[in-house]
Chain A
Amino acid sequence: DQQVKQNSPSLSVQEGRISILNCDYTNSMFDYFLWYKKYPAEGPTFLISISSIKDKNEDGRFTVFLNKSAKHLSLHIVPSQPGDSAVYFCAASAADSWGKLQFGAGTQVVVTP
């Protein structure tokens, strides 16, 4: 089941630079999208979300952009910090199935000094 895809398994970025993580989805019923960060042996930690009525949501260093026509969203982290090194998951849900999140495979981000 590939309803949510993160095609980049890994991303390396220098400290202070921008990290851009991408996510594509196929189910047009999805109307809410979330990004989670996960360290090894820990649970996913919520970062930021966006509903389909918006095309951008910003929270501190994190900004999520949604392009509904392309069924694409991205997470921008500016500036990247060493503590941002983790796996980032994109997740999506439909209004009639709110708690049933569909996750992407994740992108491993490594922030180098």
Chain B
Amino acid sequence: EPEVTQTPSHQVTQMGQEVILRCVPISNHLYFYWYRQILGQKVEFLVSFYNNEISEKSEIFDDQFSVERPDGSNFTLKIRSTKLEDSAMYFCASSESDKVSGNTIYFGEGSWLTVV
């Protein structure tokens, strides 16, 4: 079964450092997303991406965050200057289309980011 893959599975970084989380969405999917889950909290939407541009972003997704599809397969989330509160599990997800009926969003295994 096709799956969304994410690297790294776990990264520890110092506060203020830049971090890039990588994702390979399902191959025929056109819509890509990043979500995160801070320990003990809900899964939260960060950003959606289609046709090489951001479709929607949450208030969490400030100027410290950026996303990119550098080639035909990868989708990345960059945090420019990490803060302690960025420590969370980051999930990449993808969907075939934006049509509601009969569609769904598939999630990767997550990248656990620890900022120290």
> Which A positions have Cβ atoms within 8 angstroms of B?
31-32, 34, 36, 41-46, 49, 51, 89, 91, 93, 95, 97-106
- Name 23 A/B residue pairs within 8 A (Cβ), A-sorted: A32-B100, A34-B105, A42-B109, A43-B6, A43-B91, A43-B93, A43-B108, A43-B109, A44-B43, A44-B91, A45-B107, A46-B104, A46-B105, A51-B100, A91-B43, A98-B103, A99-B31, A99-B56, A99-B93, A100-B45, A101-B43, A104-B42, A105-B42
- The B interface, classified by DSSP as helix, strand, loop or mixed, is strand
Contact count A vs B, C-beta below 8 Å: 66
Residues of B within 8 A of A105 (CB): 42
B56 with A51: CB separation less than 8 A:
no
Other 5 A-B pairs with CB < 8 A, given A43-B93, A44-B43, A101-B43: A43-B108, A46-B107, A98-B103, A99-B45, A99-B98
B65 lies within 8 A of chain A by Cβ = no
- Contact count band on B: 20 to 34
Greatest chain A CB density within 10 A among B55, B56, B100, B103 is at B100
B residues in contact (CB < 8 Å) with A: 4, 6, 31, 33, 35, 42-45, 48, 55-56, 58, 91, 93, 95, 98-101, 103-110, 112
A74 CB to nearest chain B CB (Å): 19
Instruction: Give the residue name and chain of the B residue nearest to A105 (CB).
Output: B42
Nearest CB in chain A: distance from B6 CB, A = 8
Report yes or no: B48 in contact with A99, Cβ–Cβ below 8 A.
yes
Pick the contact of B98: A34, A36, A98, A102 (CB < 8 A): A98
Contact A44–B44 (Cβ < 8 Å): no
Residue among B43, B100, B109, B112 making CB contact with A93, cutoff 8 Å: B100
Q: Are A43 and B4 in contact (CB under 8 A)?
A: yes
Nearest-CB residue, chain A, relative to B109 = A43
A87 CA to B110 CA, complexed, in Å: 16
